[in-house]
Amino acid sequence: MISHIDLDYFYAQCEEVRNPDLRKRPVVVCVYSGRDGDSGVVSTSNYNARRLGVTSGMPIKMAKSKFTKSEIDPVFLPVDLDYYRQFSTAAMEIIQVSCDIFEHVGIDECYIDISRASDSNYMKSAAIVNYIQNKVYSKTNLTCSIGVGPNKLVAKIASNIRKPNAITVVNPSDVKAFMRRCKIEEIPGVGPKKKLRLEALGIRSVKELGEIDLFRLKEVFGYKIGSYLHNAANGIDDSPLKPNHHNKQIGNIVTLKHDITNSEEASPVLMSLCTHVYNILIRREQAYRTVNLILILHNLSQFNASRTLKLISSSLDKLQQIAIELLADIIRVHSLSFNNIRRIGITLSDLSGHSGQNTITRYFAEETKV
Residues that bind ligand DGT (CB under 6 A): 6-11, 31, 41, 43-44, 56-57, 108, 163-164
Half-sphere exposure of 53 (CA within 13 A, CB side): 12
Binding of Ca ion at residue 6 (CB under 5 A)? yes
CA distance linking residue 324 with residue 269, whole number of Å: 10
Of residues 164 and 172, the one with the C-beta less far from ligand DGT? 164
Of residues 41 and 52, the one with the C-beta less far from ligand DGT? 41
Residues numbered 8-47 forming contacts with Ca ion, rule: CB under 5 A:
10
Phi and psi for 114 in degrees, rounded to 5?
-120, 20
Of residues 30 and 273, the one with the C-beta less far from ligand DGT? 30
Q: Which residue from 108, 169, 237, 291 is in contact with Ca ion, where contact means CB under 5 A?
A: 108
Q: Is 93 known to be catalytic?
A: no
Residue 237 near which of Ca ion, ligand DGT, none (CB within 5-8 Å, type-dependent) = none
Of residues 57 and 192, the one with the C-beta less far from ligand DGT? 57
CB 363 within 8 A of CB 99: no
Residue 11 near which of Ca ion, ligand DGT, none (CB within 5-8 Å, type-dependent) = ligand DGT
Q: Could you tell me which residues come within 8 angstroms of residue 358 by beta carbon, excluding any fewer than 6 positions away? A: 99, 100, 116, 117
Stretch that binds Ca ion, among 1-9, 205-213, 294-302, 306-314 (CB under 5 A): 1-9
Strand partners, 253: 345
Residue 175 near which of Ca ion, ligand DGT, none (CB within 5-8 Å, type-dependent) = none
Residue 43 near which of Ca ion, ligand DGT, none (CB within 5-8 Å, type-dependent) = ligand DGT
Do β-strands 167-169 and 249-255 pair in parallel, antiparallel, or remain unpaired?
Answer: unpaired
Least Å distance, CB 249 to Ca ion, is 25
CB 1 within 8 A of CB 113: yes
Q: Could you tell me which residues come within 8 angstroms of residue 277 by beta carbon, excluding any fewer than 6 positions away? A: 250, 251, 252, 319, 346, 347, 348
CA distance linking residue 349 with residue 331, whole number of Å: 22
Residue 59 near which of Ca ion, ligand DGT, none (CB within 5-8 Å, type-dependent) = none
CA distance linking residue 220 with residue 329, whole number of Å: 60
* Number of residues forming the site for Ca ion (CB under 5 A): 3
Least Å distance, CB 164 to Ca ion, is 9
Give kind and range of the element (H or E) at residue 157: helix 152-161
> Most distant CA pair in the chain: distance in Å?
70
3-state class of 300 per DSSP? coil
Of 15, 109, 199, 208, the catalytic one is: 109
Of residues 161 and 336, the one with the C-beta less far from Ca ion? 161
Binding site for Ca ion (CB under 5 A): 6, 10, 108
- Positions marked active-site: 109
